[in-house]
Amino acid sequence: MEHVLLIAQQATEVVKTGPVAAAPLLKVATILVAGIVGGEIFAKLKLPKVTGWIGTGIFLRMLSLPAIATFMHSSLPEPVANFLSTLMDGFVARPETHSYFSPIANLVLSYITFTVGAALYLPNMRNAFKRIGLLLCFEAIITPTIVALTMFFIGRMFVGDSMSLTIALLLAAIAIAGAPGTTVLVVQEARAAGLLSRTLIGAVCLIDMVAVGVFVFMNSFVSSDSADIGSAVLMVLKEFGLSFLIGTLCAVISKLLIRTIVSPAFVGPLMVAVIMAAWGGAAFCGVNEILSAAFAGIMVSNLQHDNVRSAEAYLSAIGGVLFAIFYTFAGMKLDFTKVPTAAALVALFFLSRLLGKVISSYTAMSIAGVTDRVRNYLGLALLPHGGVAVGLIMLIGAQNRFDADTIETITTVGLSALAINQLLGPSATRFCLGRADEDHKDRPRLLDFLKEQSITVDLTGESKEEVVNTLATMLYSTNKLPITQEEFVTRVLRREVDETTCLGEGLMIPHAIIEEPEQETEITGVLGISSEGIDLGAPDGPVHAVLLLATPEHDRKRHLEVLAAFATAITRDVNMREQLYHARSAAHAYEVLHHEEAEDLNYFLEDAIERAGIRDDN
């Protein structure tokens, strides 16, 4: 025992003064291993790994608290207790330890923001503009309004005049922010696919941009002696304008380099450089880094869409390492010891933010006409609160515009509520994906080519030629085909002359086979729906659904499967037929086709292979 105590005493001196004290990589490695273990433990409990990473960070932070040190000294031999206390102080509590993680944190945040921004590929957002636009409007109005009124009027009942209007307004702006990284990770981990998942990914980055805009407005408004709304609006325009210019410049320069100098093998590294440049350029110019990285992602996606995946593929190999370090460190920054001193305000902020998210999303989705599953669960799925909120809170403390009490209240309430949200939010999102029946649905399905942007519920026309031309224009706006639109339409109409594709019960499937040998794409198509029906000369009456298909020669088998599945489901299942023909929106029609009840029509391909008895026994 004496030898053990002597070793512990010597080890304490080594940690204090030896190489370990100046070994940042050893500190990073220690925290990474702890985060990995914590994430795996939570995964075995069927909880999101990101919650485990954050919880591990909080646990490490707690180990450095005086109370824990007192407990160790009272229950362990003094040399051992000294060693553990010194170890935790060196690895967790020292300020310089946090500086080691700043570059990693900035890289992860910029990568997440860029990736989510890149998801906003405009041709694919055609039918989602209304839904996401309404959500952003209500998030900018309803959520901050509920939070501000709750914090100012009810909060003053607990803390009196110390809850000022300034504090309430700034907390209201912070409440809008979400957590793109956490949301994306939970969706990926749940292997989720569907309208709720698409809406979450499409909206979460834009919600953060709205949060930054509202914060800039509120910050300028409450900092001005005259409370000048005009000056506040100009500050918002300046912030967004400069961020847009930085993001666009990075995207344009990268495109020029790819066209002139950079070889295909280095497109991935170049995209990573774009991410870093957007973030670093914004920091250099004194504008919001989140906005610049998001604009860079949006512009790269729309100027050079094929290169977005290069960045994702290049960083995917070390993505797990980056995320584990980032979220474990984020947990280490959350101090639960501050919660008891402002428990009432923290609870008010948490509940009012949740209420605002639920009401704003429910209202927006109701107006947009989406299905109940998305409308009912989107608000709760938006509960995670992440990096942008932390950044806005830290910005308040760094501005020197506000008194110490205001800064302390905002920091305590904001970070404490954020800690609760970080622990509960990922599980809430995972729960919503499960309730919406979207988890474990990312397997290949027969109708994967039929996305929301490939559907319209406002199909009109006086003849087959007019209907086919309308749908062909829609098809070519979202897909690249090796033949011209005119040639494709000619082939489809020629096929109609030989034999009609009206299959009965209001269904028509015009199509053309593309024989070009260089065609490497899979089957593509668009769906047009008319609730009133169109007279196209079908023997059994008006046509309500027209599925236009473009099939490469090598994908004939799937083409026949689609024809057979659609014809069988529409002619035999009157319930599905009525739901599809009277869909309120493209999103509603997409839900009808991808719901679990439609698996006889839109089945998982691997399940079909198993049912056919075709298995790989190797």
Q: Give the model confidence (pLDDT) of 143-197 as tens digits.
A: 999 999 999 999 988 888 788 889 999 999 999 988 887 888 888 888 887 888 8
- Mark out the alpha helices in 224-342 (DSSP H runs): 229-260, 267-285, 289-303, 308-316, 319-332
In the prediction, which pLDDT does 597 show? 58
**Composition of the chain by helix, strand, coil, percent to 5:** 75, 5, 20
Q: Residue 611: its pLDDT value, please?
A: 44
Across 589-603, average pLDDT? 67
**What residue ranges define each of the domains in the chain, with the CATH number in brackets?**
2-93 (no CATH), 102-435 (1.20.1530.20), 452-611 (3.40.930.10)
Angle, to 10 degrees, between the axis of helix 24-44 and the axis of helix 49-63?
A: 130
CA dist., res. 338 & res. 410, Å (int): 12
Query: Which band of pLDDT confidence, cut at 50, 70 and 90, is reported for residue 350?
Result: very high
Question: 92-96, 352-356, 416-420, 517-521: which has the highest mean pLDDT?
Answer: 352-356
Give the residue-averaged pLDDT of 372-383: 90
| Neighbouring C-beta atoms of residue 397, cutoff 10 Å | 14
Q: What's the confidence (pLDDT) of residue 289? A: 81
What percent of the chain stands above pLDDT 70? 77
Beta bridge partners of 549: 511, 525
**In Å, how far from its chain's centre is CA 365?**
18
Q: How far is CA 224 from CA 15, 147, 230, 249, 576, in A?
A: 50, 22, 11, 32, 58
Q: What is Dmax (Cα atoms) for the chain?
A: 98
Q: Which two tokens stand for residue 40?
A: 């795996």
> Which tops the pLDDT comparison, 594 or 443?
594
Residue 495: predicted pLDDT: 85
Name residue 461's amino acid.
Answer: G
The pLDDT of 352-373, averaged and rounded, is 91
pLDDT of 615 > 50? The answer is no
What is the number of residues in the chain? Answer: 618
Between vectors from CA 236 to CA 234 and to CA 288, what angle results, nearest 5°? 135
Distance of alpha carbon 370 from alpha carbon 392, whole angstroms? 33
Beta strands in 319-423 (DSSP E): none
Q: Given a cut of 70, is residue 79 above it in pLDDT?
A: no
Confidence of residue 2 (pLDDT cuts 50, 70, 90): low
User: Helical H runs in 45-94?
Assistant: 49-63, 66-75, 78-88
pLDDT of residue 144: 95
Alpha carbon distance 303, 141 (integer Å): 32
Question: Is the pLDDT reported for residue 252 higher than 90?
Answer: yes
Over residues 383-396, the mean pLDDT reads 78
Q: Phi and psi of 524, rounded to 5°?
A: -130, 160
Residue 332 reports pLDDT greater than 80: no
Q: What's the pLDDT tens digit per position in 409-443?
A: 888 888 778 778 877 888 899 999 988 888 877 66
Give the range with max mean pLDDT: 269-278, 546-555, 595-604: 269-278
* Most confident of the ranges 18-27, 202-211, 252-261, 297-306: 252-261
pTM: 0.68
Q: Among residues of the chain, what percentage have pLDDT more than 90?
A: 18
pLDDT, average across residues 374-388: 88
Of the given ranges (282-286, 303-307, 589-593), which has the lowest mean pLDDT?
303-307
pLDDT of residue 127 exceeding 70: no
Top pLDDT among 38 and 6 is at 38
Residue 1 has pLDDT above 80, yes or no: no
Query: At 556, is the pLDDT very low, low, confident or very high (cuts 50, 70, 90)?
Result: confident
CB 189 within 8 A of CB 48: yes
pLDDT of 498 > 70? The answer is: yes
**Burial zone of 91 (CB within 10 Å; 0-12 exposed, 13-18 middle, 19+ buried):** buried
Question: Looking at residue 95, what is its pLDDT?
Answer: 47
pLDDT tens digit sequence for 271-282: 889 989 998 999
Least confident window among 69-73, 102-106, 348-352, 404-408: 69-73
Q: Concatenated DSSP letters for 508-519?
A: E--EEEE--TT-
| The one-letter amino acid at 581 | Y
Local confidence band at 245 (pLDDT 50, 70, 90 cut-offs) = very high
Mean pLDDT of the chain: 79
Q: Which of 198-212, 260-274, 397-411 has the lowest mean pLDDT?
A: 397-411
Look at residue 7 and give its three-state secondary structure: helix
